[in-house]
A and B are shown apart, each in its own frame.
Chain A
Amino acid sequence: GAVVSQHPSRVICKSGTSVKIECRSLDFQATTMFWYRQFPKQSLMLMATSNEGSKATYEQGVEKDKFLINHASLTLSTLTVTSAHPEDSSFYICSARDRGALSTDTQYFGPGTRLTVL
């Protein structure tokens, strides 16, 4: 099956620094990628939809200037958490849809990135 990777798998940073998380589709091209955030014991919350070559679409309540998304190629999307604070500590997960798939087809999820802000 299709594989999506994320890097890093976990990161610890100081408050005020920025952190970049990469999401790659390894064996397929993805025109659309999605970024989710998951707090402990909670479900996944969609943050934004990342479209190759265009601006990301953010969900209501998600600050676009704080969570910068770049989808520069058909296999790579990045999420940068700018000026991170302890409340940004969370599990960040990306997903991607095969550009050749039907709209009803599955999304493939990355393994997630555990961000801890001290």
Chain B
Amino acid sequence: DAKTTQPNSMESNEEEPVHLPCNHSTISGTDYIHWYRQLPSQGPEYVIHGLTSNVNNRMASLAIAEDRKSSTLILHRATLRDAAVYYCILKEVFGNEKLTFGTGTRLTIIP
């Protein structure tokens, strides 16, 4: 599986936007970029995914670099409930359905 690299931790002030980066320089043309997050003592939850174009949903936006070697998850207005570990995962469209979790980014929201 292609590997992703994320910062171990980030902090952000409440009610400000948060940009969570992910590098995936070995991404292949058939890899989708998925983001999940895990709140304390809970199972992960899906956030967003995309292939080439930027994506928006009610939770977040995903900005994908033109060469697809990096992406950024954008939380437009962070709340305390957004404090979690955020995982950036590559998933091959024709491959098996497994998700391989890296270490993720632990996001702390400062009130």
Report the stretch among B42-50, B66-74, B76-84 that lies at the interface: B42-50
- Count chain A residues whose beta carbon lies closer than 8 angstroms to a beta carbon of B: 25
Is A107 touching B99 in the complex (CB atoms < 8 A)? yes
- Report the count of interface residues on B (CB-CB < 8 A): 25
- Partner among B36, B43, B46 whose Cβ is within 8 Å of the Cβ of A112: B43
Pair A43/B101 contact, Cβ less than 8 Å? yes
Report the bound CA distance from A49 to B101 in whole Å.
Answer: 15
Q: How far is the CA of A109 from the CA of B89 in the complex (A)?
A: 15
A47–B15 CA distance with the chains assembled, in angstroms: 38
- Chain B residue with Cβ nearest A9: B41
The digit string for B25-43, where 1 denotes a CB below 8 A from any CB of A, is 0000000101010100111
Docked-complex contact B43 and A104, CB < 8 angstroms: no
Beyond A32-B97, A97-B97, A112-B41, whether A107 also contacts B46 by CB under 8 A is: yes
- B residues sitting closer than 8 Å to A (CB atoms) are 32, 34, 36, 38, 41-46, 49, 51, 87, 91, 93-94, 96-104
**5 more A-B contacts (CB under 8 A) besides A44-B101, A106-B34?**
A43-B103, A95-B99, A104-B93, A109-B45, A112-B42
